[in-house]
Amino acid sequence: MNKIQNFFNNYDGLLTDFDDDVFKALVGRVLVKAPNHVCFELKNGIVLEEKFIKKKGKNGLI
What secondary structure, in 3-state letters, does 3-29 show?
HHHHHHHHCCCCCCCCCHHHHHHHEEE
Tell me how many degrees the CA angle 1-3-46 measures, rounded to the nearest 5: 40
Q: Which amino acid, 8?
A: F
Residue ranges of domains in the chain:
2-60
Provide the pLDDT for residue 7. 74
Cβ-based neighbours of 10, under 8 Å, separated by 6 or more: none
pLDDT tens sequence for the chain (62 residues): 677 777 778 777 788 889 898 899 899 999 999 988 999 999 989 999 999 887 776 666 55
Write down the pTM of the prediction. 0.67
As a whole number of angstroms, the distance between CA 26 and CA 56 comes to 32
Provide the pLDDT for residue 22. 86
